[in-house]
Amino acid sequence: MDALIKTTINNRIGYITLCRAEKRNALNDYVVLQLTEALVSMYNNEQVKVIQLRAEGEVFSAGADLHYLQQLQTNTFEENLADSAQLAALFRMIYAGPKAVVAAIQGHAIAGGCGLATVCDICMSVPEALFGYTEVKIGFVPAIVMVFLIRKIGETKARELMLSGKLISAADAVHIGLINEVVERDMLYQLADTCCLQLIQEASGDSVRRIKQMFAEIRHLPLADALEYAARQNAETRATSDCKKGITSFLNKQKINW
């Protein structure tokens, strides 16, 4: 199997780069598998505290590989369900995994590519990039990313984007809360690294893990259950070494070395 992504580690940042530029970094089962394997490796590597997702070429990701989708039409329902479950597992792994994932978006993020951006914790984009879920235009549905998009921007805007399949600018994507920031192209990777290093230096890894887990769990709980769950997280966190270290360092006016 050809390498469809590249991975490197530097200054506790784990870089995962889509390197299928000739195919506009389109997603197929091999790309999803390699992304999943890279994430698992980064999550399990103690030398990595924050993950940064990048892509080569002019397009961040154009979504599903249409030739691959055409091949899937000969699959059984069970085979297509297994393939869809693989993508769902990848999106959940990014969304709820134990380490922060920062996306540096250097070009258009469309359909499944926009799905990748949707599930990242922090997204920075160049001004020229367009975002959208265009599946409806080819008779498909953005089914898996819908689960996450509704959580992120609310049902009103999610319905508009997914029913119309329209593309929006990076500035509009910031306005509706889909991404975090628009930065000039020549500053994108520098500012993405700065964001990652800030998380590395100023945020407890255990706190980041717990916060991401809570985002994944709280939304579907009734109010009383959500508050009970949150109270348990508060109580458990107070007993962790990170919390004890953080409070002691703060009271002693010492710099916390995370």
| Residues catalogued as catalytic | 135
DSSP string, 197-239: HHHHHHS-HHHHHHHHHHHHHHTTS-HHHHHHHHHHHHHHHHT
Side chain identity at 25, as an amino acid letter? N
**What is the DSSP-derived secondary structure letter of residue 105?**
E
Q: How far apart are CA 64 and CA 186, in angstroms?
A: 28
**What is the DSSP-derived secondary structure letter of residue 25?**
T
**What is the DSSP-derived secondary structure letter of residue 27?**
B
- The distance between the two most distant Cα atoms of the chain, rounded to a whole number of Å, is 65
Rounding to the nearest 10 degrees, give the CA dihedral for residues 6, 114, 219, 42.
0
